[in-house]
């Protein structure tokens, strides 16, 4: 029985990239042997075991054969005769098809180290096309390693296009698409993930609402980059640079979906695009089963982001009602996330990436002002329903004073 560290841990070890998860492949062993040594079985489709102490995953070396549609459509074969090279050839990319033994010796039968040195994402074999999930995985790797200068090999991109045209992407479950996408959104170059899906014709299949933005013009005086799709990815890039959380990044990604629905005779203006965006944002979230709190922020950013840009001109009562819709009293963190997303929208424009966005601090100061006014601040004679009404009055008056001071 021989045990090897495989996959991402070997790749990132050689690259000097941080990693936490370790996966192992076991050659020349049977399930009975691992069970006898205290390993716990967890695999449903093929034998995978948890180490009795470290709880890391150990999989028996296996081969696979395509037997159906989608990434579940495989039959696996495990046996003590399966060699390490046979196990590694079924993997997606050469940089993921390396193994390392306890002595630190690297086994690289398919040129992974060379591709690592040359910064190339290349498929291991033509079996790459048998698993549609690999389109998303390669796009995610492209986003993860963009800062290192990695590029997808032309022939691999062609295979990704072949998968997209085959119809196999339709076999991916919403949960799996969202899992890969949410992981990609947390990378430093999440925009590259969507650029890659666009380049291989997968974006229009998996994210038609986002794909529809490309080619739609905007007014150049507000958007020098003009193209709505380009603006969306530029705004997402701002969210990544700022290290914002997943909910903010997703909200930025979908904030302008309504612009794809602007009537042609109204272009390049996008009147009412905020309201038009509600349905495509809802459709995308429901289709991919996006978590509720992400959907909630995405919808309010879609609907209200222009008000944040114009916040200094809002009447005190209008600003109070905006803060109310953001649940300012119970969830100040939602207001903060909203402001972050709006700032990314403002800065995600060609040549305006460094432009100050004072609206952010204005919104946050307004939030603190209304939160600092509480029932105990009211006159003692105020009771019952009058309390709520007077709190609103006090808060609007405080916002009016704040606006006056700010404008002087």
219 a known binding residue?
A: no
Residues present in the chain in total: 408
How many other CB atoms are there within 10 angstroms of residue 53's CB atom? Answer: 7
The span from the CA of 216 to the CA of 262, in Å, is: 9
102 a known binding residue?
A: no
Q: Is the dihedral of CA 258, 260, 265, 267 positive or negative?
A: positive
Residue 152 φ then ψ, to 5°: -85, 130
CB under 8 Å to 37, separation ≥6 — which residues?
Answer: 52
Quick one: CA torsion of 196, 146, 90, 109, rounded to 10 degrees? 140
Report which of 80, 79, 97 is spatially closest to residue 88, judged by C-alpha positions: 97
21 a known binding residue?
A: yes
11 a known binding residue?
A: yes
DSSP state of 25: E
CB distance 19 to 12 below 8 Å: yes
8 a known binding residue?
A: yes
Q: How far is CA 192 from CA 136, 237, 284, 359, in A?
A: 12, 9, 20, 29
Q: How far is CA 372 from CA 101, 353, 357, 377, 401, in A?
A: 61, 33, 24, 9, 14
Give the residue numbers of the binding site for ATP. Answer: 8, 11, 91, 137, 140
Give the residue numbers of the binding site for CTP. Answer: 8, 11, 91, 137, 140
Give the residue numbers of the binding site. Answer: 8, 11, 21, 23, 91, 137, 140
Give the residue numbers of the binding site for Mg(2+). Answer: 21, 23
């Amino acid at each position: 029985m021989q045990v090897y560290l495989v996959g991402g841990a070997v790749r990132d070890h050689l690259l000097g990239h941080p990693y936490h998860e370790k996966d192992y492949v076991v050659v020349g062993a049977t399930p009975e042997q691992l069970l006898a040594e205290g390993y716990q079985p967890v695999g449903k489709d093929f034998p995978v075991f948890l180490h009795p102490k470290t709880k890391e995953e150990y999989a028996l070396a296996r081969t696979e054969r395509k037997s159906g549609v989608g990434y579940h459509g495989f039959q696996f074969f495990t046996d003590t005769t399966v060699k390490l090279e046979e196990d590694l050839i079924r993997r997606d990319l050469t940089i993921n098809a390396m193994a390392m033994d306890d002595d630190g010796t690297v086994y690289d039968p398919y040129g992974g180290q060379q591709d690592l040195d040359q910064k190339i994402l290349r498929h291991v074999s033509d079996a790459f096309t048998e698993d549609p999930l690999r389109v998303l995985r390669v796009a995610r790797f492209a986003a993860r390693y963009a800062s290192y200068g990695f590029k997808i090999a032309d022939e691999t991109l062609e295979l990704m296009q072949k998968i997209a045209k085959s119809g196999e992407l339709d076999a991916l479950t919403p949960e799996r698409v969202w899992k890969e996408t949410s992981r990609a959104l947390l990378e430093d170059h999440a925009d590259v993930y969507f650029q890659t899906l666009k380049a291989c014709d997968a974006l229009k299949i998996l994210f038609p609402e986002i794909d529809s933005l490309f080619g739609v013009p905007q007014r150049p005086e507000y958007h020098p980059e003009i193209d709505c799709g380009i603006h969306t990815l530029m705004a997402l890039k701002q969210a990544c640079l700022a290290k914002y959380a997943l909910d903010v990044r997703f909200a930025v990604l979908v904030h302008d979906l309504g612009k794809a629905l602007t009537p042609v005779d109204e272009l390049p203006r996008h009147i009412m695009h905020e309201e038009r965006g509600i349905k495509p944002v809802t459709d995308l979230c429901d289709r991919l089963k996006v978590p509720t709190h992400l959907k909630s922020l995405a919808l309010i950013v879609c609907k209200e982001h222009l008000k944040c840009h114009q916040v200094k001109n809002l009447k005190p009562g209008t600003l109070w009602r905006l803060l109310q819709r953001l649940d300012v009293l119970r969830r100040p963190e939602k207001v903060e996330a909203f402001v972050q997303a709006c700032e990314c929208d403002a800065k995600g424009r060609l040549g305006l990436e460094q432009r100050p966005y004072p609206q952010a601090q204005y919104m946050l100061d307004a939030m603190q002002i209304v939160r600092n006014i509480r029932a105990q601040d009211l006159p003692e004679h105020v009771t019952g329903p009058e309390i709520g009404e007077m709190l609103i009055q006090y808060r609007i008056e405080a916002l009016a004073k704040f606006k006056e001071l700010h404008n002087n």
